[in-house]
């Protein structure tokens, strides 16, 4: 039983080691009121775009994607997710990864949110999580579905509040995707190139599905 | 219930027989070691094989059954079935509320069971919700966690889904202590028990059609994503932080996908 706390410590140490230097210098202390207002505003924009009448699915999705690109710290999230492999990637790989990651992330999120027709959301409490970020709780309701908790982790990036993680019912997008990407790289002999190839294929499939 | 036990026994037996172990990372790379320990998946090759077996079973049987269930039964009927199944789980939830010392939540569960069984006509309608008594789930896996038992290595069990020794033990304790499973003898009761198990499986899978489809399509490594999501989701359930976790079944997919809960 002594191994569990030690393991937690290791994980925490790894998280700190991989997370902090990446955002170093960019993140400042986050103001809770500002974070809440930011999520309120972004949430209203998203709900408006999702429920917009007289628009095609593709149009709605494009609008949702636009809002997300502005609200999410895509680069910070991307670096966090690549984690320990970021330093092993060449500068070219880093650049390509960030480009591919933005496409994958925005596509996945906007197609998910795009399905939430008739969605409503309510703000819950906001708490400071670390010195640098705050967690804003929202409850998402859709007709005919149970309400579920969607939490937004918000940090100040370059003087602007930005979303750095989305947590659905306790499951963090950042952590889940980090696990996934790291597994792809590890299983391919530690090659970041393998992940990039897999992401390129994924984007092609996404485009084929959208076209077909 | 044999439908549940067989895959468990098979997986455990195979694990012992094969002893398939994951390759340990280079011990001089602390980050790689930390990740390996955090994954806590020493029999990953076997788990991945079981994941593939499950994928096949799911594509051939479970998902089509869930689709048919959705197509042939109107939403009102499915909601009623889900409510009845949830109501039948109440005694187990109550026991676990008490075992965790959560007196207020225990009161809620007891109140819900009484109201829904009577006014809600055997649990068909969730009237307790209108009295402000919102449902929550608990199971023996969570109670073991609250008592300080470690989760143990990750296990993937076909049909049941993601799990670990603690949650598997919890699931077994749940089956053994379910008062509705003590009834035995008559053929009718057998039939009811089996129907309840089958309905529960189809109902759970129906609620997970979209999340699991999204996982299959959108993930570069669905196995790894599910492993991470399951852990996070269980940690969240154990902490009793969220408003309700509609999908929790103690172990497996119902507790694991994280993306959204099935319809109530």
Q: Helices (DSSP H) in A24-56: which residue ranges?
A: 32-50
Do you know the residue count of chain A? 212
Q: What letters, b where the CB count within 10 A reaches 16 and e where it falls short, cover B128-155?
A: bbeeebebbbbbbbbbbbbeebbbebbb
User: How many beta-carbon pairs below 8 A join chains A and B?
Assistant: 113
For the stretch B203-248, pLDDT in tens is 999 989 988 988 888 899 999 999 999 999 999 999 987 654 443 3
Average per-residue pLDDT for chain B:
85
- DSSP-derived secondary structure for B176-233: HH-HHHH--SSHHHHHHHHHHHHHHHHHHHHHTHHHHHHHHHH-S-HHHHHHHHHHHH
Supply the ipTM of this predicted assembly.
Answer: 0.82
Assign B11 a pLDDT band (cuts: 50, 70, 90).
low
Best residue of B203, B222, B224 to probe chain A, by most A CBs closer than 10 Å:
B224
CA dist., res. A22 & res. A26, Å (int)? 9
A6-20, A43-57, A78-92, B196-210: which has the highest mean pLDDT?
A78-92
The pLDDT of residue B188 is 83
Contact B115, B133 (CB under 8 A): yes
Total domains, chain A = 1
Residue A8 lies in a domain: no
Average per-residue pLDDT for chain A:
85
A170·B235 Cβ contact <8 A = yes
Whether residue B179 has pLDDT greater than 90: no
Interacting residues of A153 by C-beta distance below 8 A, sequence separation 6+? A129, A133, A134, A135, A136, A163, A164, A165, A166, A167, A174
Nearest residue in chain B measured CA to CA from A104: B218
- DSSP-derived secondary structure for B6-67: HHHHHHHHHHHHH---PPPPPTT-HHHHHHHHHHT-TTHHHHHHHHHHHHHHIIIIIHHHHH
A192-196, B11-15, B191-195: which has the highest mean pLDDT?
A192-196
Query: What is the sign of the dihedral through the CA atoms of B175, B180, B182 and B186?
Result: negative
Best residue of A180, A182, A189, A205 to probe chain B, by most B CBs closer than 10 Å:
A180
- Backbone φ and ψ for B40, nearest 5 degrees, come out as 45, 55
CA dist., res. B11 & res. A110, Å (int)? 38
Whether residue A88 has pLDDT greater than 60: yes
Q: What mean pLDDT do residues A120-139 have?
A: 87
A66 lies in which domain range? Answer: 25-207
Q: Which of B30, B35, B242 faces A170 most closely, judged by CB atoms?
A: B242
Residue A81 lies in a domain: yes
SS3 (DSSP) at A121:
strand
Closest Cα partner for B123 from B76, B82, B92? B82
CA dist., res. B13 & res. B222, Å (int)? 25
CA distances from B195 to B7, B8, B70, B85, B225 (A): 19, 20, 17, 11, 32
SS3 (DSSP) at B74:
coil
Chain A contact for B204 (CB, 8 A cutoff): no
Residue A4 lies in a domain: no
CA dist., res. A24 & res. A207, Å (int)? 35
Whether residue B189 has pLDDT greater than 80: yes
Q: What CATH number has the domain bearing residue A32?
A: 3.10.450.710
CA dist., res. A133 & res. A84, Å (int)? 21
Closest Cα partner for A101 from A183, A210, A202, A208? A202
The pLDDT of residue A20 is 44
Quick one: what percent of chain B has pLDDT higher than 90?
A: 63
The pLDDT of residue B107 is 96
The pLDDT of residue B103 is 95
Residue A14 lies in a domain: no
For the stretch B53-92, pLDDT in tens is 999 999 999 999 999 999 999 989 999 999 999 999 999 9
Interacting residues of B36 by C-beta distance below 8 A, sequence separation 6+? B22, B24, B25
Residue A154: count of CB within 10 angstroms of its CB? 29
Start-to-end CA distance of chain B, whole Å, equals 24
Residue B132: DSSP 8-state: T
Residue A113 has which token pair?
């949110």
Residue A9 lies in a domain: no
B37·A11 Cβ contact <8 A = yes
Tell me which residue has tokens 């993140």. A27
Residue B185 has which token pair?
């003898």
Contact B253, B161 (CB under 8 A): yes
The pLDDT of residue B263 is 36
For the stretch A132-157, pLDDT in tens is 889 999 999 888 777 888 999 999 99
CA dist., res. B74 & res. A149, Å (int)? 26
For the stretch B14-64, pLDDT in tens is 555 555 688 888 888 898 999 999 999 999 999 999 999 999 999 999 999
Residue A65 lies in a domain: yes
The pLDDT of residue B163 is 97
Q: What mean pLDDT do residues B6-13 have?
A: 58
CA distances from B205 to A125, B81, B210 (A): 32, 14, 10
Residue A6 lies in a domain: no
Chain A contact for B258 (CB, 8 A cutoff): yes
CA dist., res. A94 & res. A124, Å (int)? 37
Residue A2 lies in a domain: no
């Amino acid at each position: 039983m002594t191994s569990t706390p030690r393991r937690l410590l290791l994980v925490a140490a790894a998280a700190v080691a991989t997370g902090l230097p990446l955002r170093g210098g960019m993140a400042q202390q986050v103001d809770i009121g500002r974070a809440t207002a930011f999520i309120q505003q972004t949430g209203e924009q998203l709900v408006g775009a999702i429920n917009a009448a007289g628009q095609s699915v593709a149009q709605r999705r494009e609008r949702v994607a636009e809002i997300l690109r502005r609200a999410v710290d895509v680069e910070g999230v991307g670096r966090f997710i690549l984690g320990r492999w970021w330093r092993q990637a060449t500068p070219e790989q880093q650049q390509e990864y960030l480009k591919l990651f933005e496409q994958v992330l925005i596509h996945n999120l906007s197609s998910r949110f795009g399905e939430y027709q008739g969605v409503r959301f309510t703000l819950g409490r906001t708490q400071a999580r670390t010195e640098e970020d705050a967690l804003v709780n929202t409850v998402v309701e859709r007709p005919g579905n149970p309400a579920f908790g969607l939490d937004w982790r918000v940090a100040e990036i370059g003087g602007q509040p930005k979303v750095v993680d989305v947590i659905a019912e306790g499951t963090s997008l950042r952590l889940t995707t980090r696990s996934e990407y790291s597994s792809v790289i590890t299983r391919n002999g530690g090659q970041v190139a393998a992940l990039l190839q897999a992401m390129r294929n994924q984007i092609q499939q996404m485009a084929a599905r959208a076209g077909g | 219930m044999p439908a549940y036990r067989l895959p468990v026994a098979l997986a455990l037996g195979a694990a012992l027989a094969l002893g398939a172990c994951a390759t340990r990372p280079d011990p001089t790379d602390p980050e790689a070691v930390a990740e390996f320990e955090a994954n806590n998946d020493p029999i990953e090759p076997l788990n991945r094989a079981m994941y593939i077996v499950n994928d096949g079973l799911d594509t051939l049987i479970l998902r089509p059954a869930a689709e048919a269930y959705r197509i042939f039964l109107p939403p009102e009927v499915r909601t009623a079935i889900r409510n009845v199944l949830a109501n039948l789980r109440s005694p187990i939830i109550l026991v676990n509320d008490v075992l965790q010392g959560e007196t207020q939540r225990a009161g809620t569960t007891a109140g819900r069971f009484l109201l829904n069984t009577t006014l809600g006509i055997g649990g068909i309608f969730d009237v307790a919700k209108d009295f402000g008594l919102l449902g929550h789930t608990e199971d023996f896996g969570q109670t073991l966690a609250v008592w300080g038992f470690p989760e143990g290595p990750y296990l993937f069990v076909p049909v049941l889904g993601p799990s670990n020794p603690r949650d598997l033990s919890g699931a077994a304790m749940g089956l053994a202590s379910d008062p509705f499973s003590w009834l035995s003898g008559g053929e009718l009761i057998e039939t009811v028990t089996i129907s309840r198990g089958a309905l529960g499986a189809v109902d759970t899978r129906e609620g997970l059609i979209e999340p699991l489809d999204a996982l299959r399509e959108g993930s570069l490594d669905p196995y790894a994503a599910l492993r991470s999501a399951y852990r996070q989701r269980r940690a969240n359930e154990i902490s009793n932080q969220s408003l309700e976790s509609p999908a929790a079944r103690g172990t497996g997919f119902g507790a694991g996908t994280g993306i959204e809960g099935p319809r109530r």
